[in-house]
Structure 1
Amino acid sequence: MAEEEDDPIVQEIDVYLAKSLAEKLFLFQYPVRPAAMTYNDMTHLSAKIKPKQQKVELEMAIDTVSPNYCRSKGEQIALNVDGTCGDESSTYTSKLMDKQTFSSIQAASNTARYAAAVYRKGELHLTPLRGILQLRPSFTYLDKADAKHREREAANEAGDSSQDEAEEDVKQITVRFSRPESEQARQRRVQSYEFLQKKQAEEHWVNLHYYSVKDSRSEHERQYLQCQATGMENTELIKSPSDYLTMLMPPSTEEEIDKPVAPSNVLSMAQLRTLPLADQIKILIKNVKVMPFANLMGLMATGTDSTAVLRCIQQVAMLVQGNWVVKSDIIYPKDTTSPHSGVAAEVLCRGRDYVMWKFTQGRWVVRKEVADVTKLCQEDVKEFLDHMAVVRINQGWEFLLPYDEDFVKKHPDVVQRQQMLWMGIQTKLEKVFNLAKEDMMPKKQDAESAPSLIISGVQRINTARAKLNENYVQVERGLQSKKDLSKTSTAWSNADTSSVMVKEEPLSEDEEPMDTSAAGDSMNNGLVNGVHLDGGSRDSLKGRSIGGHTDVVSQELKEFLITTFKKHCVLSLSELKRFFNLHLASLPPGDKLFSGISDKRLQETLLDTGCKQILVPFPPHCAAAPDEQKVFALWEFGDVYDQHRQVLFGLFSKNYRIRRNVIQARLTQEFGDDLSKQLVDKLLKDCCASHGGMWYLKGTVQS
């Protein structure tokens, strides 16, 4: 047996478990410091701990007389942190960075298997560790310096906010009601960073007194690392080797304990396919919101029956333009409320059903119109539209997916069944929202032409342009025919001296021009929002105006422009056209301005009235339309503020947004230090708009 022994016992050592410091012993590690360079000889200024969180902060002095210390850099850091004024709250009272702070983090949350060992006189004494902490330099003083910098910036811009700005910053407040918190939501909240930060801030610091390694108190405390009762009789180990090994090295449960709870709606495809088919489809459509049937089949397992999928999808979704959209009661279950407004789920379902029904009638929906009908807040309506549409600038919300003609042709029975369901929903919507049946009637169309009737706003504009050009041709022909007829009548009158002479005379103010369009449309049908899209053809008609009709129109247009700019001071071209359309709507039928004003003529008349275009340098990738980038202002009002306004316009010809202090400095430079705050406020109120702490010319603020 002796010859077969390959692991002989060399020495037996008695092991003792010391418990005097078991609940107070921490192991400190300094991962950014070499082991040979200890902090034992450094002066420790203070120490504090949060026992429950096991968070420690140590404050140590820095040797400012060392040849390796940069004094100028230390002074600069102290100046950035504390500023020029020194008081008791200053971080560095000596005006020099003469200390640094070390902050701890836990290296391991479960320290049950770790202990500090002391070997002395053939005995091994083990003391369990309460925690293992890693201490690293803390840079919270940089946060304080950054806060000082922001305070200085705010002080430099003092006075920027006026009464007018305060009024502009008023925003609508939406009251929200919190819903009951589920267990999973509570666990996610407890493990969130915000909750942990709040919890850490609630526990108070406990100040400690630091003793160096060589201090007599330290030597006294180190004696407790040895077991005090060593005279006890040793007991035999009755555990089996495997049990003893398990006791020494218990299985790790740290990862399982600290593993965060996953959201309830997160499933892998492997987990998803273990569920029943109906549950699979419900989970998919609830998360995706809108899906073509072909994509849904692609997510199903190989060999899944399409008929079974069709049967299940109709229980949780509705057919919109050949695509499947999740039902409203799936998104908003019973007894829930809106996170935005606190509205009940039943009301939300009716509003969302109305949006879905609108998309069964066409490709486009306007959010404001939906809000007016449903009486819901803008946030709720936007959430409905985000589920199934995408916003297009100046056009509205377009349905997210193209019309699925293949599905409609392959499954006419499903399409017919869905149409019947939509008819029932339409009847309910008529009663709930008190809508007229004429507004709810769908446009007549056959199955083959359904996709072609769904046209975009751009296509509608192109159609309007074509119709406009056709009307111009018809108007020109009518005017030419009238002129030829007039010449013939004059010649006939000259041949018969006994007859009354007939000649061309200008139209009086009470007369209206002849309707010469072949289709019965008036000349104003060539207008889009009161302004012609193509000014070339209309300008050719301008020269053919009869007698002094053109002068009367020009004079009336000039009066409108002067009145508008004296009221608004600065306007973009698109905003000016909007005001012009409102002006046209207020005029009686047959007014001279209804003869049609092109963009070109409008801009020429602008320059004649003393207005000038301000060439605002918009950024290269600006999303504003070309009309939005044309900004005009009345150059001279005839008051004492003309020169001030011209200096302001000159500033905006160099940059499209300016801070108030820059405007104030330039006006002070031009007109002296006696410039009053009331004058600057008036200029900014008349000509500019505030947004995000910057000032823009009116009509140029980008959303």
Structure 2
Amino acid sequence: MVTVKTEPMDEDVDDPVVKEIPVYVSTKLADKLYIFQYPLRSADVGYDNDIFLETSMKPENEEVKIQVQLDTQSENYDESQGEFLAANNIESSTKQKEEQLFKGDQMDRIFLKSSRAEPNCDNYAIAIFQNDEFHITPLKGIIQMRQDFSYLDRVDKKFKDSGKNGGEGFMDVDDDEPEELEVHAKFAKNISDYTKQQREKSFQTHARKSMEEKWVPCKFQKAEEPIKEEMFCHEVDNDTSNNLKLTQSQYLNILAPVKNTKLKSNANILNPINALSYIQTLPLLEQITRLMKDAKIITFEHLRAIISSDHKDTDILKILQEVAVLVQNNWVVNSNIIYHDDYQSDSGIESELMRRARNYILLCYTEREYIQDRAEICSTVKLPIEEVTQIIDNLAIYEPQKGWRLLASSTEFAKMYPDIANRQILVWEGRGKEIRKLLESQQPQQSKSPQRRQR
């Protein structure tokens, strides 16, 4: 249960608190709870009253298959077709033993197969309100179950192998020549070899993992079974201490932050995932790192306006010099934070080359206000124009007839903190020599072969 420190506040007489409800989070079913959807059946019908003959699951790949009993006594059941499908659904195992797919002489079941409805369910939970208590259980996944008709493929294969139908069943084998059909050719868009390899690799990896994992038999429990009680918190931790260490107003601001109309940032200053109200609760190092990673480039005045006034300027500047560099009086996040070791561009460029190219572009901005020729940058860093454009677009804005200049603009930092500004100049002098040395080592060395003597 989550509680917060209370502080004196004026209660709104028109909107009093009428009831407090304790909230509990049950972890007993963590990583085990799924929602099963049956999109081909209406909600009022479902499968609640059906009999599940067999259920099995692949936990790692989150795949499920279910065999549901079919009512063979129903007036809508076609006995002749049921017998036909049962008789022709015999598959041979590796030991040359024939296994009957349907247990009797009729088709007595249908097959349901799963598909993922939602790839990421980290923000979903199941909640139950009972006895004036709110119990929440985190959700592992949402799975949709649809009918599987693979047994028809076995019948089809059997008749194709035998080359005859005998006039029975739902298939008609015609010995006549096939009709001529008009064929329309469609051409797919050009896809890079790297993208194609990544798609194939991803599918092949998923298929291989699915084939390697064995089906685990499961037992189906009806809704009225007592196992559902595991969704409730029977052992409650009554420790009401405030682990967040927030006052009531601070906690309320996290839940419903007040929009600051005075603060206008760059288009890419904050990722919506990193809500400002949440970031302000983090340690100062993590605050600055997240803000710089989202903003890419920002003035110190702007950054200072975002961070709480509880933090001193000296503490902010100390951390800022660890995660960013000063370029034209603007702070730019370090390249290793943007392009981490596991990063790879759409063209397959590794993170080390991207970091090197970005550092060279930043070096250019320490020497001049505008970058005019991207082709020159590409020639120097040996990267495609797409990667160079991506780097520049995150830092600069294009001005016709001038080129790309940095997004942020400030002339005050060097006046306010001359020591740090001078230190950053020395940092760039050393870094510039290192960057140029690395780029020169990339240049293709011309082979010098000894001249042959003329005869």
TM-score (norm 1): 0.30
Higher fraction of helix:
1
Larger Rg: 1
TM-score (norm 2): 0.45
